[in-house]
Amino acid sequence: MNIRRNFLKIVSLVMIFAVLQGVLTSCGTSDKTESKAESKNDTETVSLKDDFYTAVNYDWLESADIPENGLNSDYYDICSKNISEFYKNYVEGLSSKKELSKQESRLLVLYEQFMEGQYEQSLETVKKYVQEIEKAKSLSDMEKLYSDKRISVYNGLLNFEISGSKSSYILRLNAVTLNGTDITKVSTYSFDEKIREQYLNSLKGVILKSGIYSGEKADAIAESAVSTETKILQGKLSENKDSGFSLYDSKSDFLFNVDLHSILDGMGYERDYQNIACDDFYMDLLNNEIFTEENVEALKNYLIAGVIYRALGSSEYNEKIGVTFEIIADFYMKDVLVKGYLDENITDEDVDYLSQMAEKIISVYKKRIDKISYLSDSTKSKAKKKLDNLNVIVARPQTLIDYSEADVSDKNTYIQNCENCIIAKRNEHNRFLKTEFSRDKIVFDTMELNAYNSFGSNSIIIDAGIMQDCVYSTEKSFEENLGSIGTVIAHEVSHTLDITGSVYDENGVYKGWCNVNDRKAYIEKVNQLKDFMAKQGEKDGIELNATATRGEDIADLTGIQCCVEVLKEQKNPDYKKFFTEYAVIHREKCTDEVLEKRIEYDTHSPSKYRVNVPVQQIAEFYTAFDIKEGDGMYVPESERISVW
């Protein structure tokens, strides 16, 4: 995956509802300390011949403010705010819209009920649920609660989404936070102590307002819930970087201590699921630490916290803690918002433009493969075959959940309508499970600020969320678009052929196609870049985790090298615009703490190195900016690195 794959992937949701403006935009501290990697030199200016990234972004780095409640500022900040603002305006505009679709009319009902509060009505239902949860004494009791069609709505530990594998759709098991964000996708920013404190205080406030618990008990429930989420997140971030997910036979008992199939039956899932996918680290965590008799009290606390937080939608109180309706809607009826965004912001011309750009990039990759001397003809042939069959999907998923028949009306209470949205979503999942999987109908969240490679379907997905002016615009020149979103696309194409991509064939089947000797030669090339990257960090007094980032570093390098080849085919290409735009899209201002966490956990290098190291390997960069021996950016031609 391209931009900070496991580090920053949320668009308008957040892990912690204390901040609730997006993990990418504001995650809670007033510290404005600038990153060591991107700080200003003591001299008045920075020469682009010595530090291209910092020189290009110098004015922005000096003037940009980290949000008051945030830890970093970058183009994610802009894009995320744009999406949130669209959602807000879209929902608020429904009441004045002349004709509403069935889905929109249901979304409007939910919105009006949210704004009215309906606190007392919801509170009665919440108290009933909490009383049932409090009765639980064993893991078996918790299993029964998880099997309840309505209480299960609030169980973030067993959340199911639809995914595709080979010829069928499957259920994918993951965990979500109290506000519905996939825990495996949230940021390491959540380790910040100030954020954790804000999170705890906000959660305690919601629990106290309910009147169900007093101070000490409210504190205990909140702290236990946050501890559970943190345990899962830490498990994800500390896992082996090469570990992935596994498919589990639906007939097997792969959860040792609870009957998952009975739970699924109770949730309303039909027995059409053939396999269930789950991240390896999470399955281990569920079996060994979470679903145990010793952990029953923590399980109760997490379910109670989920019920109280999600169900008590009081507009007056929620505004005080930052909960807005678009965040609620993003959890309960997200695909209605997504359809509205796509209809208004993504045109056929946009899709065609990026599809054609991807075709040019793939064509260049195949030409570069032919020139590689360290790979055998057999491996090169298979690599090109995989590229020939690479599926590129731009912005528009064909698998949006349809809420047209959801039992949502003003005859129901707010909490009933919210639950019915989730039940309708599960019914849609059942429909998918009965259909044949198609590579053209991949399930993906197009509102992420991302592009990524789906190895299991040999596809590249370019999300609508990233197709905004700061990354892509029809007003930009071809060079500028190629330097920004083009390098993102090329980065993902590179993953098709990398260490992970080379064990999936042209159809996405787990079947290696690179022979042992070629793979060894490839890894030697990868390690050359790893060593080079580490040395660049040492020059700045920073110990980069170049082993962990080497896969993404290769994708960065190969991606921009291929885009330069595409640019060569244009008449009078402007390389300065291209390289400058590449530096601009990676600009970021962050605290020292964030930089340290990123180096420790992230599979991508810090922004400065993602820009400077790749361009140092490209001859056209030297010509465009007159880089010569003695300049900080200069690398002798004999030492420059190329992999694909």
Of the pLDDT bands very low, low, confident and very high (cuts 50, 70, 90), residue 70 is low
Of the pLDDT bands very low, low, confident and very high (cuts 50, 70, 90), residue 242 is very low
pLDDT score at 316: 42
pLDDT score at 165: 65
Number of Cβ atoms within 10 Å of the Cβ of 516 = 8
DSSP secondary structure string for all residues of 308-363: HHHH---HHHHHHHT--HHHHHHHHSHHHHHHHHHHHH--HHHHHHHHHHHHHHHH
Q: Which two tokens stand for residue 109?
A: 């009902």
Number of Cβ atoms within 10 Å of the Cβ of 420 = 21
Instruction: Please tell me the distance from the alpha carbon of residue 265 to that of residue 270, in angstroms, as a whole number.
Output: 7
Instruction: Please tell me the distance from the alpha carbon of residue 592 to that of residue 365, in angstroms, as a whole number.
Output: 37
The packing angle between helices 487-495 and 348-371, to 10°, is 50
pLDDT score at 489: 97
- E strands, 215-338, are 245-249, 275-279
pLDDT exceeds cutoff 70 at 103: yes
Phi, psi angle pair for 41, to nearest 5°: -70, 165
Q: Render pLDDT for 295-335 as a digit per residue (tens, 0 to 9).
A: 999 999 999 999 998 887 444 445 444 557 777 788 889 99
pLDDT score at 69: 54
pLDDT exceeds cutoff 90 at 511: no
Instruction: Please tell me the distance from the alpha carbon of residue 628 to that of residue 161, in angstroms, as a whole number.
Output: 53
Closest CA to 488 of 558, 593, 417: 558
DSSP secondary structure string for all residues of 36-91: GGGPPPSSS---TTT-HHHHHTHHHHHHPPPPTT-SEEEHHHHHHHHHHHHHHHHH
Instruction: Assess contact for 641 and 529: CB atoms under 8 A.
Output: yes
Q: Render pLDDT for 158-200 as a digit per residue (tens, 0 to 9).
A: 999 988 766 778 899 988 888 666 765 555 445 567 777 877 8
Phi, psi angle pair for 2, to nearest 5°: -80, -95
Residues in the chain: 644
pLDDT score at 86: 94
Higher pLDDT, 615 or 254: 615
Number of Cβ atoms within 10 Å of the Cβ of 635 = 18
Instruction: Please tell me the distance from the alpha carbon of residue 24 to that of residue 487, in angstroms, as a whole number.
Output: 21
* C-alpha of 84 from chain center: 16
pLDDT score at 15: 33
pLDDT score at 341: 96
* C-alpha of 267 from chain center: 26
pLDDT exceeds cutoff 80 at 33: no
Instruction: Please tell me the distance from the alpha carbon of residue 105 to that of residue 93, in angstroms, as a whole number.
Output: 12
pLDDT score at 239: 55
Query: Which residue has 């909140």 as its token pair?
Result: 222
Mean pLDDT of 609-632: 97
- Flag the least confident range among 138-147, 167-176, 208-217: 167-176
Taking the CA atoms of residue 600, residue 601, residue 606 and residue 612 in that order, the dihedral angle to the nearest 10 degrees is 90
Higher pLDDT, 566 or 591: 566
pLDDT score at 25: 28
Query: Which residue has 């594998």 as its token pair?
Result: 165
Q: Locate the domains of the chain by residue range.
A: 36-78+347-394+439-639, 122-322+418-433
459-462: strand order across its sheet: 391-394, 459-462, 451-454
Instruction: Please tell me the distance from the alpha carbon of residue 224 to that of residue 308, in angstroms, as a whole number.
Output: 14
Instruction: Please tell me the distance from the alpha carbon of residue 24 to that of residue 454, in angstroms, as a whole number.
Output: 23
pLDDT score at 68: 62
- Flag the least confident range among 6-20, 46-60, 180-194: 6-20
Instruction: Please tell me the distance from the alpha carbon of residue 14 to that of residue 238, in angstroms, as a whole number.
Output: 21
Of the pLDDT bands very low, low, confident and very high (cuts 50, 70, 90), residue 436 is confident
Query: Which residue has 């349809």 as its token pair?
Result: 402
Within a 13 Å sphere around the CA of 128, how many CA atoms are in the beta-carbon half?
10
Q: Which two tokens stand for residue 634?
A: 């200069």
Arithmetic mean of pLDDT over the chain: 85
pLDDT score at 38: 39
Instruction: Please tell me the distance from the alpha carbon of residue 70 to that of residue 78, in angstroms, as a whole number.
Output: 13
pLDDT exceeds cutoff 50 at 18: no
pLDDT score at 597: 79
pLDDT score at 32: 31
pLDDT score at 11: 29
CATH number of 122-322+418-433: 1.10.1380.10
What percent of the chain has pLDDT above 90?
A: 61
CA terminus-to-terminus distance, the chain: 18
Closest CA to 333 of 414, 406, 409: 406
Architecture of domain 36-78+347-394+439-639: 3-Layer(aba) Sandwich (3.40)
Instruction: Assess contact for 559 and 482: CB atoms under 8 A.
Output: no
Number of Cβ atoms within 10 Å of the Cβ of 629 = 7
* Stretch (H or E) spanning 174: strand 168-174
Mean pLDDT of 97-126: 89
Of the pLDDT bands very low, low, confident and very high (cuts 50, 70, 90), residue 144 is very high
Instruction: Please tell me the distance from the alpha carbon of residue 616 to that of residue 539, in angstroms, as a whole number.
Output: 15
Paired sense of beta strands 72-74 and 588-590, if any: antiparallel
Of the pLDDT bands very low, low, confident and very high (cuts 50, 70, 90), residue 72 is low
pLDDT exceeds cutoff 80 at 250: no
3-state secondary structure of 195: helix
pTM: 0.86
